[in-house]
């Protein structure tokens, strides 16, 4: 055994960093500017053996046997270049000059495997919003560009509200998509929702956005369930200079943004970002339905549910964002990076029970990273703070309840904010990660360990904490690993797995496997992956409406002695095949996929489980603050059922010439309903239909884009069609008239539902967006952006206004660095 162990160690050393032999060195630069490309990937073709360029654009591949090699240099947004070179026991120098990518499929991504690879060769469907896309979009709202990606269910919920869903099961409180920024999870602690408009990043500091379709929990953990949005910001050493942007538009929109990046010396570089944006949301006041049981003469008749507009609605929004990044070069191969980002946001946000007035919600992140060719390590702290955010639905109800009880206007206004309508969030999250990667010949691997500690505090306003010192603390730790092996003849296999342990829902194991075959024109792939959606802290420890809604981290006992099991994870399995590459000629590029999903143990919406005696081992009267009112009646979250969905996506890009490109996307999504599978009878009415499963996705959607970029002029026209579809999410309804009831009320279009007004199905529109810009000088650019060019009236989300035309003009000054 000792000899075997010694042999293994010597073998590893012989192919590791101490290997002897020839080497290849050189630099990678931008062919247009001559600037070094930092973090460019340089590998021996057909292997994972290579290096990543340092702050000076330099690379070195060591320990090579004598022979001839093909070396490939690639960088995100640039065309990959390869060169042939002979090694004969000494150092050989070759340099690469890369041009910006105008050939589809040459882009390099990192989200699919946590390592740089060509987008055609990654075992996942990945969409890219490039820095050029961002630069050519004349609006502060980068979320609009998500509408141009295939397979994405894009949602506009107002002037600033944008969001996405992937492959069904959307809701007004969707935590099944993960947002990551520079390797940092960007989601709220208590609800698990992506930051979205709360994000502190500004447009000018985003290098690119990579969007993965389908599960990627094996590498990114719980809640990378059906999609991942990965934001990569700019390195100041590759983007030195100052950018100032000013913009204005309808809805009284004004935005000002500043970014400055500077290299101080061979060791230090930094960047600064700032944004101030304000405006006014589309005019819309949602209906709140209130049971009037007033006997004072101030209100309506007893027992009548009447509709009232949201009380004290404020349509104005405001965002203040800022950030600092410090980059220190430790040596030729490693960097130490510290960043601080913060935002203060005020806007309207749709939820399952109406709209929330987000007021001065502050996000802060402190992020420290160590980056080297083999090791990546990070630690970060995320803080979330709001004191005055409130539910407009609950505030309206509390106001009119006070007026019905004889209170004055001032007294009722005060009572409305002292009620459960007000949400306080004073939460924080600690994260740490260590990752290692290496390769042995044709085998490449990456492995890492992540730790997360969530510390949620609501000051007793919506969680089962009691005061500002009582944090709900939940720990989880996860290990992940991925290996890729090049078999030869264009075949490459990928295997990834992840093991997590969570304080509440325990241990979980997630695998992913894929096989790709690269041919001259592109790459075919077949993959199997699993994803998990985990209960949020709100699901586990929520406390709303005096304990009528309670989190289900411990299970409940009913009066008949039966048990309601604690909520655990939802599982997704996806089988997918696809092709990325050219068709016929290098001018036509295709990215197509087909998938089949198996979903199990759905995380349910809030449901009434009955009259309870205990939550876990605790008597319910010690948990439910309004026990005298409800007597132990509880609504909570459970797991249920199994359901299958399927679909396909087609993306076509055509390069007319170096100045004009055409884009076409089409997506299809569908599902069968087994009416005999009573495990899916979520609402327990004895029948199984779409009101139990709440898929909430259009069956068909398509888009067409025209893009022009030459010399001083750039522009684009984007046309999007989404088939109308019915949508249900807790209190929210948007559906055509049909012979069904939802929450006890017949479904009738343009009529009142049980809790909200039904304006009819979502989508069902053809929408046209327009962008145009002119480069006045090398440093000064003007651009315009128009969404919904023809001012078509349509609705994309519940608890949201009808979307009108939005237009903005932007002036930008770019001053290059030294």
Give yes or no: residues 129 and 80 share one domain.
Answer: no
113 inside domain: no
CATH of the domain at 539: 2.40.170.20
Domain encompassing residue 393: 125-296+305-460+473-725+762-816
Three-state secondary structure call for residue 142: helix
Give yes or no: residues 72 and 140 share one domain.
Answer: no
CB 59 within 8 A of CB 36: no
Give yes or no: residues 33 and 146 share one domain.
Answer: no
741 inside domain: no
Give yes or no: residues 25 and 142 share one domain.
Answer: no
Give yes or no: residues 94 and 176 share one domain.
Answer: no
Which tokens in the block code for residue 131?
A: 């820095």
Three-state secondary structure call for residue 7: helix
Q: Which of 33, 68, 101 is the last residue of a domain?
A: 101
Distance of CA 101 to the CA centre of its chain: 25
803 inside domain: yes
467 inside domain: no
* pLDDT the model gives residue 114: 56
> d(Cα 100, Cα 794) in Å, to the nearest integer?
38
Q: How many CB atoms lie within 10 A of CB 88?
A: 11
745 inside domain: no
Give yes or no: residues 664 and 553 share one domain.
Answer: yes
Within 679-755, where are the H helices?
A: 690-693
Which tokens in the block code for residue 246?
A: 């000013």
747 inside domain: no
* pLDDT the model gives residue 175: 82
119 inside domain: no
Q: Which of 35, 68, 101 is the last residue of a domain?
A: 101
pLDDT mean by block of 10 residues, the chain; 818 residues = 40 38 86 78 75 80 84 77 85 86 60 59 80 90 91 92 88 86 94 93 93 79 79 91 97 98 95 98 92 51 74 96 97 92 97 93 98 92 96 92 90 84 94 91 89 96 92 95 90 92 91 92 92 91 92 96 94 94 88 94 89 96 94 94 94 91 96 89 87 92 95 95 95 94 94 93 96 95 96 92 94 90
Which tokens in the block code for residue 466?
A: 């009691």
Q: Which of 37, 68, 101 is the last residue of a domain?
A: 101
Give yes or no: residues 697 and 801 share one domain.
Answer: yes
Task: List, in sequence order, every residue forming a beta bridge with 363; answer none if it has no partner.
Answer: 343, 384
* pLDDT the model gives residue 10: 37
Give yes or no: residues 44 and 157 share one domain.
Answer: no
Give yes or no: residues 214 and 335 share one domain.
Answer: yes
Give 646: exposed, middle or buried? Use CB within 10 Å, 0-12, 13-18, 19+: middle
Give yes or no: residues 157 and 284 share one domain.
Answer: yes
Q: What are phi and psi of 197, to 5 degrees?
A: -60, -20
Q: How many CB atoms lie within 10 A of CB 404?
A: 19
Give yes or no: residues 97 and 130 share one domain.
Answer: no
Residues 6+ apart with CB under 8 A from 18: none
> d(Cα 726, Cα 691) in Å, to the nearest integer?
10
* pLDDT the model gives residue 4: 38
* ∠ CA 653-581-578, rounded to 5°: 105
CATH of the domain at 88: 2.60.40.1120
Cα–Cα nearest to 603, from 636, 638, 644, 645? 638
Over the Cα atoms of the chain, what is R_g? 27
Tally of structural domains, the chain: 2
* pLDDT the model gives residue 459: 94
* pLDDT the model gives residue 5: 42
Give yes or no: residues 442 and 548 share one domain.
Answer: yes
263 inside domain: yes
């Amino acid at each position: 055994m000792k000899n075997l162990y010694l042999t293994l160690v010597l073998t590893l050393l012989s192919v590791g960093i101490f290997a002897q032999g020839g080497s290849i060195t050189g630099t990678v630069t931008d062919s247009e500017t001559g600037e070094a490309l930092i973090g460019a990937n340089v590998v021996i073709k057909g292997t994972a053996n290579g290096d990543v360029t340092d702050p000076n654009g330099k690379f070195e591949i060591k320990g090579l046997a004598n022979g001839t090699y093909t070396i490939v240099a690639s960088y995100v947004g640039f065309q990959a270049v390869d060169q042939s070179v002979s090694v004969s026991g000494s150092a050989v120098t070759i340099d690469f000059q890369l041009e910006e990518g105008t050939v589809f499929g040459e882009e390099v991504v990192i989200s699919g495997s946590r390592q740089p690879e060509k987008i055609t060769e990654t075992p996942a469907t990945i969409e890219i919003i490039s820095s050029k896309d961002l630069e050519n979009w004349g609006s502060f709202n980068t979320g609009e560009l998500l509408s141009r990606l295939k397979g994405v269910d894009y949602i506009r919920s107002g002037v600033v509200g944008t969001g996405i869903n992937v492959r069904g099961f959307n809701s007004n409180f969707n935590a099944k998509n993960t947002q990551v920024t520079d390797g940092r999870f960007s989601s709220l602690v208590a609800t698990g929702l992506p930051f979205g408009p709360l994000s502190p990043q500004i447009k000018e500091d985003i290098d690119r956005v990579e969007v993965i379709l389908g599960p990627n929990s094996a590498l990114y953990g719980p809640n990378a369930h059906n999609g991942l949005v990965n934001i990569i910001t700019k390195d100041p050493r590759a983007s030195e200079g100052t950018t100032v942007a000013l913009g204005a538009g309808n809805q009284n929109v004004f935005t000002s943004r500043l970014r400055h990046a500077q290299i101080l010396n061979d060791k230090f570089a930094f960047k600064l970002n700032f944004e101030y944006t304000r405006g006014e949301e589309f005019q819309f006041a949602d209906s709140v339905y209130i049971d009037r049981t007033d006997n004072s003469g101030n209100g309506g008749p007893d027992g009548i549910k009447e509709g009232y507009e949201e009380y004290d609605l404020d349509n104005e929004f405001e965002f203040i964002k800022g950030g600092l990044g410090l980059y220190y070069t430790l040596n030729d191969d490693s960097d130490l990076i510290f960043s601080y980002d913060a935002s203060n946001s005020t806007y309207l946000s749709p939820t399952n029970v109406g709209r929330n007035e987000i007021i001065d919600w502050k996000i802060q992140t402190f992020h420290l990273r160590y980056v080297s060719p083999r090791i990546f390590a990070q630690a970060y702290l995320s803080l979330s703070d709001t004191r005055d955010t409130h539910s407009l639905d609950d505030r309206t109800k509390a106001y009119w309840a006070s007026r019905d009880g004889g209170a004055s206007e001032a007294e009722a206004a005060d009572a409305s904010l002292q009620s459960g309508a007000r949400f306080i969030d004073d939460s924080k999250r600690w994260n740490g990660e260590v990752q290692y990667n290496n390769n042995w010949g044709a085998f490449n691997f990456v492995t890492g360990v992540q730790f997360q500690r969530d510390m949620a505090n609501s000051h007793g306003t919506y969680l089962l904490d009691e005061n500002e010192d009582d944090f709900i603390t939940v720990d989880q730790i996860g290990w992940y690993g991925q290996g890729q092996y090049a078999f030869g003849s264009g075949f490459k296999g990928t295997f990834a797995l992840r093991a997590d342990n969570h304080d509440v829902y325990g241990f979980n194991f997630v695998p992913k496997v894929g096989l790709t075959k690269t041919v001259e024109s592109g790459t075919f792939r077949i993959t199997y992956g699993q994803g998990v959606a985990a209960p949020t802290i709100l699901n586990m420890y929520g406390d709303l409406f005096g304990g009528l809604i309670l989190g289900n981290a411990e299970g409940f006992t009913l009066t008949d002695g039966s048990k309601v099991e604690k909520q655990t994870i939802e599982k997704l399995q996806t089988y997918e095949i696809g092709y990325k590459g050219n068709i016929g000629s290098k001018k036509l590029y295709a990215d197509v996929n087909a998938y089949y999903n198996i979903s199990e143990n759905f995380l349910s919406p809030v449901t009434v489980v009955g009259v309870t005696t205990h939550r876990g081992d605790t008597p319910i009267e010690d948990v439910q603050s309004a026990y005298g009112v409800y007597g132990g009646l509880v609504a909570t979250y459970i797991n249920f059922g199994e359901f299958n969905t399927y679909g396909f996506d087609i993306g076509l890009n055509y390069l007319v010439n170096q100045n004009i490109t055409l884009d076409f996307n089409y997506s299809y999504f569908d599902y069968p309903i087994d009416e005999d599978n009573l495990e899916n009878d979520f609402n327990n009415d004895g029948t199984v239909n779409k009101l139990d499963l709440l898929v909430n996705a259009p069956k068909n959607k398509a888009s067409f884009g025209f893009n022009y970029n030459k010399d001083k002029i750039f522009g684009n026209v984007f046309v999007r069609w989404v088939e109308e579809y019915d949508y249900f999410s807790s209190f929210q309804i948007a559906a055509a008239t049909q012979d069904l009831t939802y929450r006890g009320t017949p479904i009738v279009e343009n009529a009142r539902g049980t809790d909200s007004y039904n304006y009819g199905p979502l989508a069902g529109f053809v929408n046209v967006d327009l962008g145009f810009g002119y480069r006045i000088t090398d440093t000064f650019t003007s651009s315009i952006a128009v969404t919904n060019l023809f001012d078509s009236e349509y609705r994309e989300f519940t608890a949201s206004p009808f979307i009108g035309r939005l237009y903005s003009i932007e002036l930008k000054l770019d001053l290059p660095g030294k």
